[in-house]
Structure 1
Amino acid sequence: FLQRLGMEKAPPIVTSAVLLDARRHLGKGRALTAGETISARDIEAMVATQGLGWRGILPGDVLYVYTGWGDSWRDPDTEKVYYTKAPGLSYDAARYLAEKRVVAVGLDTPFVDPVNEGQLQGKAGPPAGTPPATPFAVHHHLLSGLGKPPMWPIDPERLQEVWMAMKMSKSKPDTAGAPPAPATPRPAGPASAPAGIEKPEMTEADRDVADATRTLDTNPADVAALEQRARAYTRQGKHALAVADYTKAVEAKPDDAALHFARALSLQHLRQFEEAVKAYDEALRIAPRHIAAYNGRGNANRMLKRHEAALRDFEEVLRLNPKYVAALYNRGLVYRDMNRAEDAIRDWTSAIAMDKEYAGAYVQRALLHEKGGARDKAIADFRAALAAPPKYESGQWAHRIARERLAALGAAQP
């Protein structure tokens, strides 16, 4: 393996580096312990707390994480501690960093994976969250899967209070198949925006994440702070982080229907429909007349192709509130999926009668008209969709499809 992917194959690296202080922000001043994991959510929180929210982690960065584990290093290794176990990155953190397209990752540990006490000796399994049969999944994901080499380790004392640096790596080993070796970043200044680069203003969601994270640093079970941060993550489109916070919140406050409902919505954004249905079930157990939960569960059931269950959910919504227009639209989608075109058109026609600016309903009806050969009706509906504002979640999609189909039909656009 190393004969093919040794460090002599690695290109020179001159790039920006980010140092995150997990010892300070996660360990509260203590070194992280063996098997302790640093998650994607932890990385996001440290970025915000260290004043790096204006840039985040960018493509091409090298990421260093200081855990404090390096304090146990000895030469000679008489205590048999440093190389036998360690904290490390969770698997979701590895995937997160791959999505960010970092070029290298380094910790002050002998591994990038978390290793439990006794794991190397076969006396213990890997930490929770490790993919089955892949005990060093993070190393595998970063190195062989994505070609992003781990780097060992750094001296954090040389970078105190400097969270950005320049990483330089230009020499190549003489021996083929050499593993990654220690490399020292050059401090490049504090976390503030460099001269000539305008520092973007923090959004309200950024501020909410930072404020909630500070609260949770001192009280990790603060439900209000967990909910605040989860809502902010949702506004940022970071639904996996939102689910993690909502999960902690419902564990602390299991009889809060609103928390279960919000968690279900985030799960749905992640297309985890089975788990979303379970979360909607909990919300409805607590609040049996929660109309939005029935509607959400109906959508999740539709995605799971449980058509009859979805129809029951939307019918319950309309029983509780006959003017809930989204339920008519959504029930029409179920009928369409069941090849019940007349029923689908009837529901979308009812939705349009209730809201004449429902662009999504016009487009769905138009698509069925077009499929059935009713060209003139389809064109009229596509034009009506474009004349309506793009409201509701389907609005932007409806405008795009209407323009595309009118062009395909050779019809003028309004």
Structure 2
Amino acid sequence: VHYNVGKNLADKGNQSAAIKYYREAVRLNPKYVHAMNNLGNILKERNELQEAEELLSLAVQIQPDFAAAWMNLGIVQNSLRRFEEAEQSYWTAIKHRKKYPDCYYNLGRLYADLNRHIDALNAWRNATVLKPEHSLAWNNMIILLDNTGNLAQAEAVGREALQLIPNDHSLMFSLANVLGKSQKYKESEALFLKAIKANPNAASYHGNLAVLYHRWGNLDLAKKHYEVSLKLDPMAPGTRENYNLLRRKLEQLQKKGGA
């Protein structure tokens, strides 16, 4: 009963109260692995990593085939920068649950942190094979390929992802960035605008569309979207500098026009 009350509270977002009930469930039954896993998971989210690790380690000792607890333990170990142990925990989770897209996703994040790019891409690809609508795994693939200069591959993955999840604005945004770098301005613009329509208050969407217009020479539109972006997030990294560069350029053009 304590476990179920805790779970209901956690589902409603009341973590502090949920912790109390989960703790009581574990006190009443010190081998209650599901209560340990859920409690460890909440503590992980609250960055109370030591206790989270103790609980999750205990859960997998009691029940060695508990895949979800192994994955959560891996996430905690990753946060504690104990990467080898984290990798081990993820693979143990996958051994006990063959089809585990979220675990492949987290494994990919670990490999990306270690600059093991091919391994990261393979892990994320596995996640999307098992769960074709795994938006985060698709997105990370696009961003990693983009950041490592593999624009053609990034574009191919982005198009594949959007065929499967056509209304995902974060995928539209990532692919729009890639197309902009490949100088496919018209298509990039269309995707940025679609992403903004779906999520109008994302400062980065406006900021990156402004960069596209800036590169493309549509300076008035660039100015407009820089201003929207800065209004939504005055601290947006890079946006303020880009905006100032654009304003200087516009002033110079006005002077030339006046002369």
Shared fold, TM over 0.5: yes
User: Are 1:237 and 2:40 matched, yes or no?
Assistant: no
Alignment equivalent of 2:149, drawn from 324, 339, 345? 339
Structure 1 counterpart of 2:256: none
**Structure 2 residue corresponding to 1:404, chosen from 204, 207, 211:** 207
The letter of the residue matching 1:400 is A
Unaligned residue ranges in structure 1 (runs of 5+) = 1-201, 391-395
Assess if the C-alpha contact under 8 Å between 1:223 and 1:249 holds in 2. yes
Q: Percent identity at matched positions? A: 20
Structure 1 residues 376-395: aligned runs within 5 Å: 376-389=186-199
Equivalent residue number for residue 225 of structure 1: 35
Query: 2:73 pairs with 244, 252, 263, which one?
Result: 263
Could you tell me which amino acid in structure 1 is paired with residue 38 of structure 2? Q
Q: Distance in 2 between matches of 1:273 and 1:367?
A: 31
Look up the match of 1:148: none
TM-score using structure 2 length? 0.65
Q: 1:389 to 1:335 in 2, by over 3 A?
A: same
Kindly provide the amino acid, as one letter, of the partner of residue 174 in structure 2: Q
Q: Which residue of 2 aligns with 1:24?
A: none
Q: Cα deviation per residue 1:245-282 (whole Å; 9 max; x = unaligned)?
A: 22221222221112112222344456654433221111
Larger of the two Rg values belongs to structure: 1
In structure 2, the residue corresponding to 1:297 is in which secondary structure? helix
Verify: 1:368 aligned to 2:178, yes or no: yes
- Which residue is 1:292 aligned to? 102
Residue type of the partner of 2:163? A
TM-score normalised per structure 1: 0.43
1:239, CA displacement in angstroms? 5.2
Tell me the amino acid that sits aligned with residue 363 of structure 1: F
Unpaired runs of 5+ residues, structure 2, are 1-11, 215-220, 229-259
* Separation (CA, whole Å) in 2 of partners of 1:300 and 1:285: 18
2:178 counterpart of 1:358: no
Task: Work out which of the residue numbers 83, 98, 116 in structure 2 matches 1:306.
Answer: 116
- 1:280 is aligned to 2:83: no
Is the Cα–Cα contact under 8 Å of residues 43 and 52 in structure 2 kept in the other structure? yes
Amino acid in structure 1 at the alignment position of 2:41: R
* AA aligned opposite 1:352: L
Which structure carries more relative contact order (alpha carbon 8 Å, separation 6+)?
A: 1
Q: Note if contact 1:325-1:354 (Cα within 8 Å) is conserved in structure 2.
A: no
1:248 and 2:58 aligned: yes
Q: Which structure has more helix as a fraction of its residues?
A: 2
Residues matched between the structures, number: 205
Matches within 5 A, 1:5-404: 204-217=14-27, 220-234=30-44, 237-238=46-47, 240=49, 241-268=51-78, 273-322=83-132, 324-389=134-199, 399-404=202-207
Write out per-residue CA displacement over residues 86-128 of structure 1, whole angstroms, 9 at most, x where no aligned residue.
Answer: xxxxxxxxxxxxxxxxxxxxxxxxxxxxxxxxxxxxxxxxxxx
Cα distance in structure 2, aligned partners of 1:215 and 1:317: 33
Per the alignment, do residues 273 and 402 of structure 1 end up closer, same or farther by CA in structure 2, a change over 3 Å counting?
Answer: farther
Point out the more displaced range, 281-290 or 308-317: 308-317
Give the CA deviation at 1:356: 2.5
Deviations 1:113-162 (A, max 9, x none): xxxxxxxxxxxxxxxxxxxxxxxxxxxxxxxxxxxxxxxxxxxxxxxxxx
SS of 2:149's equivalent in the other structure is: coil
Evaluate the alpha carbon distance shift between residue 352 and residue 281 of structure 1 in structure 2; reply closer, same or farther with a 3 A threshold.
same
Q: What is the aligned partner in structure 1 of residue 244 from structure 2?
A: none
Superimposed CA distance per residue, residues 302-348 of structure 1 (whole angstroms, 9 cap, x where no aligned partner): 22111222233233334445554444333323322442111111111
Aligned residue type for 1:386: I
1:362 to 1:268, Cα distance in 2 relative to 1, 3 A: farther
C-alpha distance after superposition, 1:64-88 (max 9, x if no partner): xxxxxxxxxxxxxxxxxxxxxxxxx
| Paired residues of 2:151 and 2:182 also in contact (CA < 8 A) | no
3-state SS of the aligned residue for 2:99?
coil
Where 1:339 maps in the other structure, the secondary structure is coil
**Would the alpha carbon gap of residues 245 and 318 (structure 1) be closer, same or farther in structure 2, given more than 3 Å must change?**
same
8 Å Cα contact 2:143/2:154 also seen in 1: yes
Counterpart code for 2:61:
E
Structure 1 pair 407–336 and aligned structure 2 pair: CA distance change class (3 A):
closer
2:100–2:130 CA contact under 8 A, matched in 1? no
Tell me if the contact between 2:121 and 2:141 (Cα under 8 Å) persists in the aligned partners: yes
Assess if the C-alpha contact under 8 Å between 2:75 and 2:86 holds in 1: yes
What is the aligned-residue RMSD (CA, Å)? 3.1
Query: How far does the alpha carbon of each residue in 1:195-253 deviate from its partner, in whole angstroms, 9 at most, with x for none?
Result: xxxxxxx962111111222344455443233123123334x533514333222212222
User: Counting strand residues as a fraction of each chain, which structure ranks higher?
Assistant: 1
